[in-house]
Amino acid sequence: MCIGNRVSLLYLLAVFITNVFYTDELSAHGDGKEASQTVNSVSGAPYNPVSHGVRKIALDDVTIRILIDSSNIGRDDIEIGELVLPVGSPDSVSHAHNSLEIFYVVEGILGHDVNGESYTLHPGDVGYLKPGDQIVHRVLSETAVKALVIWVPGGESEALVKHAGFKEVPLN
């Protein structure tokens, strides 16, 4: 299923997250603080509101840099990663997730097959599938696909490691 370009709340969320995570000169909340500095929440608990990644998983040349998960936000109801599918990588096998899966394409063209129906996602497009739906990902462009993948609830990256052959790799 696809949502039209630039029209949904999911798009706005993805744009916000993209601006936060893909800007090297990011200032937390526009206050000039370095990315490594912490702030206090309204409850007084300190946290770091910026992430350049907490871990990275890979299957061959396909990588997912996990940006947000329970390790840095202290809750498991969402997980966000940067998916990179290189040019020439084979189509993913048809698979399902236990979470709502949302893609925001940043670069390249992503083939997004949901339950046997094919969709094409261009930069700025959002695609999603519901828990249990069958998905196949494929690169349709001459350049790598880079997409933000959001899982609600989180925990899908761990499932990819346990059940789909992904391995933990250095974050660098």
Q: Is residue 155 part of a domain?
A: yes
The pLDDT of residue 27 is 35
More confidently predicted of 56 and 14:
56
More confident call, 11 vs 140: 140
pLDDT for position 34: 57
Question: Per-residue pLDDT tens for 70-123?
Answer: 988 888 999 999 999 999 999 998 999 999 999 999 999 999 999 999 999 999
| Residue 19 domain-assigned (yes or no) | no
In a domain, 59, yes or no: yes
Choose the weakest-confidence range: 4-13, 74-83, 126-135. 4-13
pLDDT surpassing 60 at residue 7: no
The pLDDT tens digits for 22-31 are 443 333 344 4
Residue 67 domain-assigned (yes or no): yes
The total of structural domains in the chain comes to 1
Does residue 130 lie in a domain region?
yes
Pairing outcome for strands 167-169 and 55-59: antiparallel
pLDDT of 44 strictly over 50? yes
**Residue 6 falls inside a structural domain:** no
Q: Determine contact, residues 112/135, Cβ cutoff 8 Å.
A: yes
Q: Largest Cα–Cα distance of the chain, in whole Å?
A: 49
Question: Could you tell me if residue 58 is inside a domain?
Answer: yes
Q: What is the 3-state secondary structure (H, E, C) of the chain?
A: CEECCCCCHHHHHHHHHHHHHCCCCCCHHHCCCCCCCCEECCCCCEECCCCCCCEEEEECCEEEEEEECHHHHCCCCCEEEEEEECCCCCCCCCECCCCEEEEEEEECCEEEEECCEEEEECCCCEEEECCCCCEEEEECCCCCEEEEEEEECCCHHHHHHHHCCCEEECCC
Confirm whether 78 is domain-assigned.
yes
pLDDT at residue 13, rounded to an integer: 54
Q: Domain limits at 106?
A: 52-169
Can you give the CATH number for the domain in which 60 is found?
2.60.120.10
